[in-house]
Structure 1
Amino acid sequence: MRIHGEAVRFGVHSGQQYESFGACLELWQRAEALGYDWVSLFDHLRPPLGGPGGPCLEGPTLLAALAARTRRVRCGLLVLAVPNRHPASVAAIAATLDHVSGGRLELGLGSGGPDLMYDQFGLERPAPADRAVMLDETCRVVRSLWTRESTDFRGRHYTLDGAHLAPKPLQPHIPLVLGGAGSGVLRAAARHADIWNTLPGTPEAYRRMCAALGEHCDEAGRDAADIRQSITFRAVLAEDEKEAMRRREALLGHLPPDSPLLDEYLSFGTPESCVADLAPYAALGARDFILGARPPVDWTTVELVATRVTPALRQMVEGSSGSDR
């Protein structure tokens, strides 16, 4: 069965490109107070969007500190890059985070995206085919270490002999969130994911991604409906269209015209237009909507998504589900 059922959840993907812990903590605590269901970090050390010398706090360490200073909101990583750590270390990090958070962790795993750390720190980045295998093996190893008394594993990249992990996570089943749209990630998601997260692109592009995931689920003998769909998007909102367009122009003036960040913006306008922009993805099965919020934080959009977009989309989806019954 799909984890969290058919409930619509909204979250904030804060990242950690902040100059101080306090700035990131403020966003997490305000997001929790606004009623968001989820807040997350990523796992880059040198994210390209920050430039070669931009600020970036370390992910799992920061997540532990933020989890300890929040009480209700689900705590996520979008996503931990599996080539950077041995699966046993990933399992131990996650179990510790689950204890620190009081059982609120949702662990994102991915094959590892662009990161300036490989060149800056002289680290080797495995080939895509190897990273896809590492992702699959990591999913298998962490789930085994979380649930079994002892784990033996023989894979292409990892070997465990009588491996133990204690204490186990507080949650009987930590949700695994697999992030990405490449064939290797989709194949691993079909086998292991509780939640699949991606950037949405256009509705038609998202439809194709969902269809590809469904094909991999058929191959794995799994019902695609059991995997919760999650999208990460960005938006610039205001109370009226004129102000929203003014804020949009200010953003475009700040970002270079070839910035990859622009592709992540799904909505410019009022809360009502944002609901209309998100509706096609809800119709295609998305139930988690994660608002990207890089510094400087756009508090207007963060608050309008929480107070206006979230209840309206929930009513739309729940009303549709009710009429289907």
Structure 2
Amino acid sequence: MTDSESTDRPYSAFPVRIGLQVQPQHAPYDAIRRTVAKAEEIGVDIAFNWDHFYPLFGEPDGLHFECWTMLAAWAEATERVEIGALVTCNSYRNADLLADMARTVDHVSDGRLILGIGSGWFERDYDEYGYEFGTAGGRLDNLAETLPRIEQRWAKLNPAPTRDIPVLIGGGGEKKTLKLVAKHANIWHGFGDAETLAHKHAVLDEHCRAIGRDPGEIERSAAVGDKTPDAVGKGLLDVGSRLFTVSASGPDYDLGLLREWVAWRDEVNAK
């Protein structure tokens, strides 16, 4: 990293980290548990699930499990890896309850929880479980109301969280979502190629400066899907991404790509 890169993208100072989203679909829970254990053994930094009630692809009524009860189980079943949802749907739980759930899993895990959160989008979840779907703008407004409530509840809980629980916000909306990231988040998670993410990073930087926050405080995360580090790693790294998340779906969780990303992480961080 050059001096100019450090000045232009202060978040480039973060070390490279690798996440694995273990998609909790089409697999029995013992397969999910084994996958998380294996990922920790491989050396992944963060194990994520997601917050949905039905599979997002494949058989729509296939096997599926709930997010937060699973995270509590992962907290007991793992020792080193951080855990979290990519991402929790803001609509599904009262804000103060969610804060208390996160604080509890934070304690169960000895301080390894990341609170990933977003405004929600999967309409079937809402319809089947009786939540009002509303509009995308309305859901973002609700997220804006929820985030300070979570922060306020954390300040009241006894015992308090073991640490300042990192907040990850997912989504790339430039007028609302990235403003919320600037105000509340420790990590921003986005999608797209290097050019797209470079633009989003610049927008987020401006939102940070508008409220007097150092953009370098926010770690930049990118979903890499099924792409290899040889294909996209350098490009994403050059625009400031530092957390790279691979996805794996049931019934057979193939961790070959995860191994490639972990090895690449170690090479980059050793330089």
Give the TM-score, by structure 1 length.
0.75
**Hey, what does 1:202 align to over in structure 2?**
193
**Residues 148-159 of structure 1: matches in 2 within 5 Å?**
149=156
> Does residue 1:289 correspond to 2:244, yes or no?
yes
Is 1:93 the counterpart of 2:104 in the alignment?
Answer: no
Could you report, residue by residue, the CA deviation over 1:95-117 in whole angstroms, capped at 9, with x for unpaired residues?
11101111100110101122422
Aligned to 1:213: 204
Task: Say whether residues 1:181 and 2:181 are aligned partners.
Answer: no
Q: Is the Cα–Cα contact under 8 Å of residues 18 and 57 in structure 1 kept in the other structure?
A: no
Partner of 2:264: 309
Shift of 1:3: 9.4
Task: Give deviations 1:259-313, integer Å, cap 9, x for gaps.
Answer: xxxxxxx33xxxxxx245211111111111111111222232233333x322223
SS in 2 for 1:178: strand
> Distance between the aligned counterparts of 1:5 and 1:24, measured in 2?
33
1:83 aligns with 91
Question: Which of residues 29, 38, 50 is equivalent to 2:46?
Answer: 38
Structure 2 residue identity aligned to 1:112:
G
User: Following the alignment from structure 1 to structure 2, what is the Cα–Cα distance between the partners of residues 4 and 26?
Assistant: 33
**TM alignment of 1:191-270, pairs within 5 A:** 191-199=183-191, 201-235=192-226, 266-267=227-228
Letter of the 1:283 partner, please give it. Answer: D
CA contact (8 A) 1:109 1:178 kept: yes
Alignment of 1:14-29 (within 5 A): 14-29=22-37
Letter in 2 for 1:76: G
Over the residues paired in the alignment, what is the CA RMSD in angstroms?
2.0
User: Per the alignment, do residues 100 and 57 of structure 1 end up closer, same or farther by CA in structure 2, a change over 3 Å counting?
Assistant: same
Cα distance in 1 for partners of 2:255, 2:85 equals 22
1:169 aligns with 2:169: no
Is the Cα–Cα contact under 8 Å of residues 275 and 313 in structure 1 kept in the other structure?
A: no
**8 Å Cα contact 2:25/2:54 also seen in 1:** no
| Per-residue deviation, residues 44-83 of structure 1 (Å, max 9, x unmatched) | 1124324431221000001111111100100111111111
Shift of 1:5: 5.9
More relative contact order, 1 or 2 (CA 8 Å, 6+ apart): 2
Distance 2:60 2:225 in 1: 23
Distance 2:85 2:185 in 1: 14
Partners of 1:174 and 1:100 in 2: how far apart? 13
Q: Is the 8 A contact 1:18 1:24 kept in 2?
A: no
Over 3 Å counting, the alpha-carbon distance change for 1:76 and 1:4 in structure 2 is: farther
Kept in 2, the 8 Å contact 1:47–1:114? The answer is: no
Whole-Å separation in 2 of the counterparts to 1:144 and 1:54: 38
Gaps of 5+ in 2: 1-9
Q: Deviations over 1:199-239 (max 9, x none)?
A: 2x12111111112212222332222221110112122xxxx
Confirm or deny: 8 A CA contact 2:46 2:84 kept in the other structure: yes
Aligned length: 260
Does the C-alpha gap of structure 1 residues 204 and 5 become closer, same or farther in structure 2, counting only changes over 3 Å? closer
Per the alignment, residue 6 of structure 2 pairs with none
Rg comparison, structure with higher value: 1
Q: Normalising by structure 2, what TM-score?
A: 0.89
| Superposed counterparts of 1:102-113, under 5 Å | 102-113=110-121
Structure 1 pair 125/8, CA: closer, same or farther in 2 (3 Å)? Answer: same
- Contact 2:11–2:215, Cα closer than 8 Å, also in 1: no
Contact 1:47 1:116 in 2 (8 A): no
* Aligned partner of residue 87 in structure 2, secondary structure: strand
Is 1:300 paired with 2:261?
no
Checking the alignment, whether the CA contact within 8 Å between 2:198 and 2:240 is kept in structure 1 is no
Deviation at 1:43, TM superposition (A): 0.6
In 2, Cα distance between the equivalents of 1:95 and 1:3? Answer: 27
Q: Identify unmatched segments of 5+ residues in structure 1.
A: 150-164, 236-265, 268-273, 320-325
1:203 aligned partner, one-letter code: A
For residues 47 and 311 of structure 1, what CA distance do their matches in structure 2 show? Answer: 33
AA at the equivalent of 2:22: S
Q: Tell me the SS of whatever aligns to 1:11.
A: strand
**Whole-angstrom distance in 2 between the partners of 1:48 and 1:221:** 39
Distance change (3 Å), C-alpha of 1:126 and 1:47 = farther
